[in-house]
């Protein structure tokens, strides 16, 4: 902690000295929540000596297979729900007061209610390892992948879950950034006007810095563009370093208005066991920086400790979104019997002519939501507010509080007819949690008023999650009979669900943890190869999204793996399926991984992409590395493909079949 704003730490607090592998923490109820694989702990200092006196094991069973993929990247939404991200290479088995929660091999976000410890999970399709989550001032979430740097609006993804979810268009192109660890909106009076409301994330390998993006409304959702210099081409980044060991993480606007972020500061960042145990791995360094704008003074921090409920409620008017975040967290951690009456009194004093009137009423609802104590009169007033962002926020509250609001379904059905696309999309997300005929009829009805891409995606997902609630009506011709576009969507759900469902048992066999006999394995691969009906056009889009980093087709991508032109002529469908399921089944020597051990004790593994008598160039799946041969102590060709295993698990079953159809067509 820097107490006098001189840029130097005045106080260091050790929370707990026996954590095995902490991957994330967040303040909660006067203490700190910390992930200590496989446990989620609550730590508290009760006597003010800056040392932990109470250690409570809250939840146990978080997966431990890969420290890079383990649950972390904590972020509360405005209503007090804790969001935690986890990568694909994990098998979580959490024990909760409500029974076990299981998740295997699907990347995404856990949404935890800290009042009840109930957990739900939503998949982020196409992600390898999500590590970014942040909410804007209306509690609209942007969730992002660490591996590919894709960022997505979370509303279409976070409804009811089902096997076979399609990929979603990202908010903006990544421009090759990867991987990224942590994101933030730049909203601070300390910063200049021309960066306000911009979005940034921390890139730790191929850029070593933080780019800037401007995010705009795009129909129901959002779109963004990268900030560039006057030539229109050169990126105008927030920070960029030539030090390849500078690895910025977790940027956040601090109470002083500066941007605070960590620096991983490590040369070795590999996942493999030999990387984790490499004696050259740095376990001591690592830094915390703050980025200060020299043109303005730092802000006087707005603090919550010792302030009355009324004073903290007034902090919800502050310009900085992070100040509001901390004010919410403080109020949500105080006793309900004190906070809720204070919120009611505060709302009664709000003025309708205040430009922030609708948002401030949402702030009151978010505090109430965190206690599961929504004022229905206030909620209905905000559902009818003039500001569409406020109506969308209120609908999201209805959806997330559906277990506590008897009128939830009726309110969502009404909101599905709203004139605003974002409001309707939030309503459709909420309706996805109700597997009833009337809920699905309301979803279909929402598509009558010129739906955009995001509303269509969310509606299709809601319908795909609840097929038994509407397919009977549709077959009888009683659903969307005068809407050809919606009927086309419903036809697609039925047909894609059918073929996807046919692939599921075989993919479960091949991608599951149970060992298979060669005969069972080959039968499952052949069954997938024999399935027809995949969409080659969609398969091309899925391939472009997941594979062109290493493969080239139609002059797109890189040739770090085999060129895919005419692959359908070279390989049978069986071999195409096998090459995706098990990249190590048949190895071409030129695509085998090579491990280089250097004389200074470092170990680098990747694909040899070029070689001269003096140098060797390796591609490690992230970047190319040049190694002087005079520094090589040992060179080992490994019996493993440079193609990552588990790729099939990052695609929907129907998308897997689409890719097979696409590759088979390349003749």
By the 8 A CB rule, do 43 and 49 touch? no
Residue 469's alpha-carbon distances to 166, 260, 303, 478, 479, in angstroms, are 20, 49, 50, 13, 11
When pLDDT is averaged across residues 583-605 and rounded to a whole number, the result is 77
Residue 622 pLDDT: 67
- Tokens representing residue 282 in the block: 């740095």
pLDDT band at 213 (very low <50, low <70, confident <90, very high): very high
Per-residue pLDDT at 210 exceeds 50: yes
Peptide bond into 194 cis (omega under 30): no
Per-residue pLDDT at 474 exceeds 90: no
Residue 498 zone, left/alpha/beta (φ > 0; ψ -120 to 50; rest):
alpha
By the 8 A CB rule, do 314 and 304 touch? no
At which residue do the structure tokens 């070279």 appear? 570
Residue 513 pLDDT: 75
Is 659 or 555 the better-scoring residue by pLDDT? 659
Cα angle, residue 145 at apex, residues 330 and 650 outer, rounded to 5°: 130
Q: Can you tell me whether residue 634 is helix, strand or coil?
A: strand
Cα angle, residue 129 at apex, residues 124 and 131 outer, rounded to 5°: 90
Residue 1 pLDDT: 60
When pLDDT is averaged across residues 49-64 and rounded to a whole number, the result is 92
Residue 654's alpha-carbon distances to 437, 533, 572, 648, in angstroms, are 25, 9, 19, 11
Q: What are phi and psi of 489, to 5 degrees?
A: -60, -45
Residue 332 pLDDT: 96
By the 8 A CB rule, do 399 and 433 touch? yes
When pLDDT is averaged across residues 503-524 and rounded to a whole number, the result is 87
Average pLDDT over the chain, rounded to an integer: 89
Q: CA–CA separation, 394 vs 83, rounded Å?
A: 19
172 Cβ contact list (under 8 Å, min separation 6): 151, 213, 215, 223, 224, 225, 226
Instruction: Write out pLDDT tens, residues 366-385.
Output: 999 999 999 999 999 999 99
pTM of the model: 0.79
197 Cβ contact list (under 8 Å, min separation 6): 185, 186, 187, 214, 215
Residue 272 pLDDT: 61
Per-residue pLDDT at 8 exceeds 80: no
Name the residue among 144, 219, 206 with its Cα closest to residue 177. Answer: 206
Per-residue pLDDT at 127 exceeds 60: yes
Instruction: Write out pLDDT tens, residues 424-470.
Output: 999 999 999 999 999 999 999 999 999 999 999 999 999 999 988 89
By the 8 A CB rule, do 224 and 216 touch? yes
**One-character DSSP codes across 351-407:** -TTSTTHHHHHHHHHHHHHHTT---HHHHHHHHT-S-HHHHHHHHHHHHHTTTT-TT
When pLDDT is averaged across residues 296-304 and rounded to a whole number, the result is 97
Residue 602 pLDDT: 83
pLDDT band at 17 (very low <50, low <70, confident <90, very high): very low
When pLDDT is averaged across residues 331-339 and rounded to a whole number, the result is 96
Residue 153 pLDDT: 98
Residue 228 per-residue DSSP state: B
pLDDT band at 621 (very low <50, low <70, confident <90, very high): low
By the 8 A CB rule, do 126 and 157 touch? no
pLDDT band at 544 (very low <50, low <70, confident <90, very high): confident
Q: CA–CA separation, 111 vs 462, rounded Å?
A: 18
At which residue do the structure tokens 């190590």 appear? 584
Name the residue among 631, 635, 523 with its Cα closest to residue 577. Answer: 523
pLDDT band at 193 (very low <50, low <70, confident <90, very high): very high
Q: CA–CA separation, 101 vs 420, rounded Å?
A: 36
% of the chain with per-residue pLDDT over 70: 91
Q: Give Cα 312 distance to the centre of its chain.
A: 30
Per-residue pLDDT at 233 exceeds 60: yes
Residue 271 pLDDT: 61
Evaluated on CA atoms 105, 111, 112, 113, the torsion sign reads negative
Q: Can you tell me whether residue 85 is helix, strand or coil?
A: strand
Residue 595's alpha-carbon distances to 147, 600, 611, in angstroms, are 22, 15, 14
Per-residue pLDDT at 492 exceeds 90: no
When pLDDT is averaged across residues 2-29 and rounded to a whole number, the result is 56
Cα angle, residue 338 at apex, residues 335 and 344 outer, rounded to 5°: 125
By the 8 A CB rule, do 444 and 486 touch? yes
When pLDDT is averaged across residues 7-35 and rounded to a whole number, the result is 61
Sequence-distant contacts of 193-198: CB under 8 A, at least 24 apart: 195/238, 198/227
Name the residue among 215, 229, 222 with its Cα closest to residue 184. Answer: 215
H or E element that contains 428: helix 421-431
Is 559 or 91 the better-scoring residue by pLDDT? 91
Residue 15 pLDDT: 40
Residue 122 per-residue DSSP state: E
Per-residue pLDDT at 265 exceeds 90: no
Burial of 259 (0-12, 13-18, 19+ CB in 10 A): buried
pLDDT band at 394 (very low <50, low <70, confident <90, very high): very high
At which residue do the structure tokens 């995949």 appear? 534
Give the highest mean pLDDT range of 60-69, 192-201, 633-642.
192-201
pLDDT band at 509 (very low <50, low <70, confident <90, very high): confident
Residue 340 pLDDT: 98
Residue 283's alpha-carbon distances to 29, 36, 204, 268, in angstroms, are 30, 16, 17, 11
Residue 108 pLDDT: 97
When pLDDT is averaged across residues 34-52 and rounded to a whole number, the result is 90
By the 8 A CB rule, do 628 and 636 touch? no
Residue 65 pLDDT: 87
């Amino acid at each position: 902690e820097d107490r006098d704003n001189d840029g130097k730490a005045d106080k260091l607090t050790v929370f707990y000295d026996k954590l095995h592998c902490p991957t994330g923490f967040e303040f909660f109820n006067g203490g700190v929540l910390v992930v200590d694989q496989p446990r989620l702990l609550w730590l508290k200092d009760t006597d003010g000596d800056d040392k932990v006196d109470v250690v409570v094991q809250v939840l146990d069973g978080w997966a431990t297979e890969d420290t890079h993929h383990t649950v972390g990247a904590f972020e509360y939404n405005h209503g007090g729900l804790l969001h935690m991200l986890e990568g694909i290479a994990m098998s979580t088995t959490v024990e909760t007061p409500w029974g076990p929660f299981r998740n295997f091999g699907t990347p995404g976000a856990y949404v935890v209610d800290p009042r009840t410890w109930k957990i739900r999970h939503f998949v982020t399709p196409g992600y390898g390892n999500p590590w970014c989550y942040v909410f804007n001032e209306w509690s609209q979430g942007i969730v992002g992948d660490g591996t590919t740097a894709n960022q997505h609006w979370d509303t279409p993804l976070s409804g009811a879950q089902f096997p076979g979810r399609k990929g979603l268009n990202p908010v903006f192109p990544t421009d090759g950034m990867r991987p990224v660890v942590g994101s933030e909106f730049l909203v601070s009076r300390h910063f200049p006007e021309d960066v306000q409301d911009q979005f940034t994330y921390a890139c730790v390998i191929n850029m070593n810095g933080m780019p800037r993006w401007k995010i705009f409304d795009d129909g129901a959702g959002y779109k963004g563009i990268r900030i560039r210099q006057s030539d229109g081409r050169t990126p105008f980044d927030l920070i960029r370093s030539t030090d390849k060991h500078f690895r910025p993480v977790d940027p956040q606007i601090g109470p002083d208005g500066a941007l605070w972020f960590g620096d991983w500061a490590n040369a070795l960042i590999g996942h493999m066991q030999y990387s984790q145990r490499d004696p050259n791995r740095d376990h001591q360094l690592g830094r915390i920086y703050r980025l200060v704008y020299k043109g303005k003074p730092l802000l006087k921090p707005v603090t919550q400790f010792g302030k009355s409920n009324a004073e903290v409620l007034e902090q919800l008017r502050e310009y900085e979104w992070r100040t509001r975040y901390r004010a919410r967290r403080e109020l949500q951690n105080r006793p309900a019997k004190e906070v809720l009456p204070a919120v009611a009194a505060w709302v009664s004093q709000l003025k309708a002519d205040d430009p922030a009137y609708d948002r401030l009423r949402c702030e009151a609802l978010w505090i109430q939501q965190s206690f599961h104590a929504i004022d229905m009169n206030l909620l209905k007033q905000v559902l009818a507010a003039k500001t569409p962002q406020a109506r969308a926020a209120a609908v999201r509250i209805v959806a997330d509080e559906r277990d506590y609001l008897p009128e939830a379904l009726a309110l969502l059905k009404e909101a599905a007819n709203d004139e605003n696309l974002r409001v309707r999309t939030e309503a459709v997300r909420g309706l996805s949690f109700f597997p009833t005929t009337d809920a699905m009829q309301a979803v279909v009805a929402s598509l009558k008023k010129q739906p955009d891409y995001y509303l269509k995606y969310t509606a299709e997902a809601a319908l795909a999650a609840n097929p038994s609630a509407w397919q009977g009506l549709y077959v009888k011709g009683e659903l969307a009979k005068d809407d050809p576009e919606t009927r086309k969507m419903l036809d697609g759900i039925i047909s894609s669900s059918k073929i996807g469902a046919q692939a599921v048992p075989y993919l479960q066999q091949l991608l599951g943890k149970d060992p298979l006999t060669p005969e069972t394995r080959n039968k499952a691969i052949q069954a997938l190869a024999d399935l027809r009906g995949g969409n080659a056009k969609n398969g091309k889009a899925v391939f472009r999204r997941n594979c062109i980093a290493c493969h080239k087709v139609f002059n797109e991508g890189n040739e770090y793996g085999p060129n895919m032109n005419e692959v359908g002529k070279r390989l049978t469908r069986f071999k195409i399926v096998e090459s995706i399921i098990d990249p190590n089944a048949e190895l071409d020597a030129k695509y085998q991984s090579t491990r280089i051990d250097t004389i200074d004790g470092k170990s680098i593994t990747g694909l040899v992409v070029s070689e001269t008598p003096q140098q060797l160039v390796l591609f490690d799946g992230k970047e190319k590395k040049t190694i002087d041969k005079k520094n090589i102590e040992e060179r080992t060709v490994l019996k493993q493909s440079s193609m990552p295993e588990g790729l099939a698990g990052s695609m929907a079953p129907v998308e897997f079949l689409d890719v097979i159809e696409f590759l088979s067509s390349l003749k």
